[in-house]
Chain A
Amino acid sequence: EAQVTQNPRYLITVTGKKLTVTCSQNMNHEYMSWYRQDPGLGLRQIYYSMNVEVTDKGDVPEGYKVSRKEKRNFPLILESPSPNQTSLYFCASSPQGYGELFFGEGSRLTVL
């Protein structure tokens, strides 16, 4: 089954404790992206990647890192999480960076 898989789905952590949210797609898509969803703000792009070893900042990259060492994986790293990073995070992929985005199920992160 074609899908985008994120883990963990839910996480409560404390300020400053490094965490990684994994994202994997099995559709051989070139493009992958991370979004955060906050009430009233819609979906804001954090980082995106057009291909392996190619990443670029979205609109809200501060406090986040990403890597694209393999085509299928695009982890989101929070080196020192802060409460303002409490949010619902979505990973998405598409064949080439335009056209339909396929979203993962979302990861709800709470930073205390």
Chain B
Amino acid sequence: GENVEQHPSTLSVQEGDSAVIKCTYSDSASNYFPWYKQELGKRPQLIIDIRSNVGEKKDQRIAVTLNKTAKHFSLHITETQPEDSAVYFCAASKEVSSASKIIFGSGTRLSIRP
């Protein structure tokens, strides 16, 4: 079945530096790739997503890139700030009307060092 692998599991970066989290997926039919941020004790919330018809999407300090050939996508956070500390989950799914299984990666715990 569909599998999503996420690396690294933990990441510590100096405040102001960049952070990169990578995910690979197994099902080539996947065409929707969201990223969720989960702050400590809170629910996951969508921060950015990308569909397979584009290769990159940016929203202020965060960006996502997608390589369909290699079946991997990455989250990039620039100029990291303390409030970026959280667990980040990637996910993959197929946007079809008949059924929808959204598969999540195992998560990356990002810590921002002051």
Chain A contacts to B: CB under 8 angstroms: 31, 33, 35, 40-45, 48, 50, 56, 58-59, 90, 96-101, 103-106
Contact = CB atoms under 8 A, between A and B. Distances in A.
22 contacts: A33-B102, A42-B6, A42-B104, A42-B106, A43-B89, A43-B91, A43-B107, A45-B103, A45-B104, A48-B101, A50-B98, A50-B99, A56-B99, A97-B99, A97-B100, A98-B93, A98-B102, A100-B46, A100-B49, A101-B102, A103-B44, A106-B43
Given A100-B34, A103-B44, A42 B107 contact: yes
A33 B101 CA distance: 9
Contacts of B95: 98-99
A106 B41 CA distance: 9
A59 B106 CA distance: 14
Contacts of A105: 42-43
Contacts, number: 64
Contacts of A97: 97, 99-100
Given A43-B89, A90-B44, 11 more contacts: A35-B104, A42-B104, A44-B104, A45-B103, A96-B97, A98-B32, A100-B34, A100-B46, A101-B34, A101-B44, A101-B46
A59 B105 contact: no
Contacts of A98: 32, 93-96, 100, 102
Contacts of B43: 90, 103-106
B102 A45 contact: yes
B45 interface: yes
A50 B100 contact: yes
Contacts of B103: 45, 59
A40 B9 contact: yes
Contacts of A31: 100
Contacts of B107: 40, 42-43
